[in-house]
Each structure stands twice: as C-alpha cells, then as structure tokens.
Chain A
C-alpha cells in the first residue's frame, strides 16, 4: 500500500504561506481569556471563555509508550461531509475491518481522537467541523479524505466551498482520490499511526500555537459566527 501517494504534515507545513500574526487580535482578551464577541450578550454566560493552552508532554519514554497506545486505539469521529463519507462504511465491514487496528467509530467528539473529514467542506459544514474538532480532547488527529478537501476538487470555483482545510484546522494526513478507495483510506490511517508513533502528529498543539491565525481564517469565511471563539 505504500505505493499510494500520501501527503503528511511536514509537506503541508512547508506550504503555509502566511505566518501567524504576532500580537493580539481584537477578539482576544488576554493570554487566558477570549472575548466571544460572536455571541449575544445574554449568551456569553453559557459558554466557557477560556483560551486553550498548549498541552504538555510527559517524559519522552512514557510519551513514546503513550503514543504507541494512542496509535493502537484510535477512535474515529466520522464527519461525513460529502461523498467520501461513503468510504467509511466499508471500512467497518468484514472486508476491511478497521476494528482489528484498534479503531472504532465513536458518535461523540468528546471520546474520539481522530476526526475524518470525508469530502468537500462548505462554509456551513466548516463551522461544524471547527466546532467538533475543538470539542475533541487532545491529542487529536485529522484525516481529510478526497480531493475536494485538499484543493476544492470539482468545487474549485464554488461560491460556498473552502478549498483548503488546513487553513482552518491542522490536518495530519490527506488521502487523495475522488473518491479514494477504502484501501487508500486504510493506508492513510496506517500513515497516521506511523506519525503518531513517531511523535509527529501534534496537530493539537499546532492549532493552539497558531490559534490566532486559524481563528482569523475561520472568521474570514464564516460570517455568522454565533458561537464562542473556542468550543470547549
């Protein structure tokens, strides 16, 4: 399976064009608090306004062990945005059976480690993706499937579809194809496992590090931002 092209995180990082802006944007109160300006005044009480902090790793030896355990027990939040979502179903059937890899679909982001974005991402969907991603507990990993998720695919000139998800959330592994075969997705998962074991899948911390940049990008396209700045 190694003969199918896989793009992993370091490649994409090199393509990031704009580095994060230094300093505080107007929606960020201070190092630990967010303004949550998108919310009406009476709703601000209902949402947590803490700014996420970078998670600390343990001692390297332990961390290696934990990374191994994480790679052996990936719980998937399948975000079926487009046609690529179809590809997850065969994965749990007897033919491909991801459960032998220790993976299982999980219906709630709280308990999932891996969000799988299955296709084109419209603005409306992007909002939900961001929310679900932020609700996951770290370390968390993103696998984006289909060319639509990589460069817009057939929606390259659509008025309502983003063309690159990595501007909005950090993606660990892309799987190309329109649509990719389940084997390809499996290969993607295997790649992700390798990355995790190597300690390279630190998308969560990347997101926190470049939090302002990601938020700017998200807010640029999501016009009705009626949610807190970070969905805890």
Chain B
C-alpha cells in the first residue's frame, strides 16, 4: 500500500495517507482529481470493485467527506479514497459511468445529504424516503427529535413503573 501511495503520488495530489491494516488504507484527493484517480485505479491498478460510497458530515469544518471504497480482487486490498467537498455547494462529479451501481449510491447521497450529482440517472427521484419533504435527514444540522415530535404523536407514558409493576405481576406475594 505504501508503494502504491508513492506511485500515485507521482501522478495525483494525494495526501493524508493512512494505513488501517495491511489490506486497507485511506488517502485523500482533491475534488477535481477524484474521477481521474478512480478511473486510474479501476483501469490500471486493478481496483475494479466499487464497494461503497459514503459520506460524513463535518458540520464544524463545513464540509462533507465522501469516501469511495474500492477493492482489488487480485490482491484483496481495499483502498478508501476520500474527498472533501463544501457543504455550501454540495455538488460532485458522478462516477456512474465507471460503475453502473454508482448511481444508486449517488441517489442515496442526494436524498440523505443533499449532495447533487449532475447527470446521474434518476438522481432526483425519491429512493428510500417516499414523499419526503423536509431537509436531507442525514445532515447533522437536521434535528430529528424535534422533527419527530412535531410530526408523529407520542404515546403518553404509562404511569406504572415497569420494575414495580412486573414485580407485582410476577411475585404478588412479596
């Protein structure tokens, strides 16, 4: 993985390389180089499997960190390629032309985080949240508790304390 990083370094502006274990490493790449790096990894380095695309909301740094996890079947290595994009303008290039299944992740990311992937098929269609009208729910600035309380009615608590009640039910003679 180290050697891979060094070789990649010659062509791409990759940094923040971290090795988790012998077969898993992460590195970071600027937004503009992501697609070319992924293409490179897929076509030349043998990382042919897109395992997943995830997103972490770094509200404090005002950025989303996208992670593209790739797998190499010949060496059984995983490489996570991370890219940080701005929260203010969350637009990213799609990778559905490289991996067909990429569009599903992209739809999910759009629905949950509001990250747009222009050109990705059906990216604006609702996927999991049918008829969702609120803000993207996975963003950290979305308060689910408040939303839930405002939207769904709460069952009033039964005034019996469970512990006491069960004791009464089970061992009434005590």
Contact = CB atoms under 8 A, between A and B. Distances in A.
Q: Do chains A and B touch in the complex (CB under 8 A)?
A: yes
Contacts of B130: 123-124, 127, 222-224
Interface of B is mostly: loop
B170 A164 contact: no
Interface residues of B, number: 24
A163 B152 contact: yes
Interface in B109-154: 126, 128-134, 137, 142, 144-145, 147-149, 151-154
Interface string B151-174: 111111000000001000110000
Contact of A164 (B132, B148, B153, B165): B153
Contacts of A223: 130-133
B155 A124 contact: no
A198 B128 CA distance: 42
Contacts of A167: 153
Nearest to B155: A151
A5 interface: yes
Nearest to A17: B153
B155 A163 contact: yes
Given A15-B156, A151-B155, A163-B155, A157 B131 contact: no
29 contacts: A5-B165, A5-B169, A15-B155, A15-B156, A123-B130, A124-B128, A124-B129, A127-B130, A151-B154, A151-B155, A152-B152, A156-B154, A158-B144, A159-B134, A159-B144, A159-B151, A160-B129, A160-B137, A161-B148, A161-B152, A163-B148, A163-B154, A164-B152, A164-B153, A164-B155, A167-B153, A221-B151, A222-B130, A224-B131
Given A164-B155, A222-B130, A223-B132, 11 more contacts: A15-B155, A123-B130, A124-B130, A156-B154, A159-B134, A159-B137, A159-B142, A160-B129, A161-B152, A164-B154, A223-B133
Interface of B: 126, 128-134, 137, 142, 144-145, 147-149, 151-156, 165, 169-170
Interface of A: 3, 5, 15, 17, 123-124, 127, 150-152, 156-164, 167, 221-225
